[in-house]
Amino acid sequence: MQLHPLKLAAACALALPAFAHAQTHNDALDLHEVVVTATRTVTREDVDHFATFTGDTFYAHTDEQAAAANPLFGGIVAHGYLILSFAAGLFVEPAPGPVLANTGLENLRFQTPLYPGDSMRVELTVKSKSVRDEDKGEVHWAVYIFNQKDEVVATYDLLTMNVP
């Protein structure tokens, strides 16, 4: 049995506030450093609001009967992009700081549905970092979103432009 890389790193994960990584300059981040966010519970109201607000009214998010008949879901599930948005809300610092911008999201995979009433948390690992010039550098993060059962809900690589 192979351990998930973050399960292996869990013992050394930093107990940082949700916004700690956004307040850290490139040179203060260590390779393989793990940042763990607080949790957030997704509600049916969140899913309904997201469907209405975005226009994404796919039946798996809006039609209880049709979603229940789907063998992949068995009921209403949260939108993938709702999950990503909530993940960002758990780790993005609203005030200006060392993070200048998110510049990319790569290799996105949704692995386990997230249902209304489920909780989610995010774990970010510094995969690499570099200095582009004296004004900015880049950080490449491995991002894992987990539910309350420690199942991986989604994974992706996040690229940020930071103050070096």
**Residues 133, 137, 143, CA angle at the centre, nearest 5°?**
165
| Count of the separate structural domains present in the chain | 1
In a domain, 72, yes or no: no
Domain membership of residue 144 (yes or no) is: yes
Q: What is the pLDDT of residue 64?
A: 96
For residue 27, pLDDT beyond 70? no
Tell me whether residue 86 is in a domain: yes
User: How many other CB atoms sit within 10 Å of the CB of residue 46?
Assistant: 17
For 87, the domain range is: 5-40+80-162
At 26, which CATH number? Answer: 3.10.129.10
Tokens for 150?
A: 């420690």
pLDDT of the residue at 118 = 98
Q: Is residue 61 a part of any domain in this protein? A: no
Percent of the chain whose predicted confidence (pLDDT) is above 90: 63
pTM as predicted: 0.83
The residues that bridge with 102 in the sheet, in sequence order, are: 160
Residue 74 is assigned to a structural domain of this protein:
no
Residues making up the chain, counted from first to last: 164
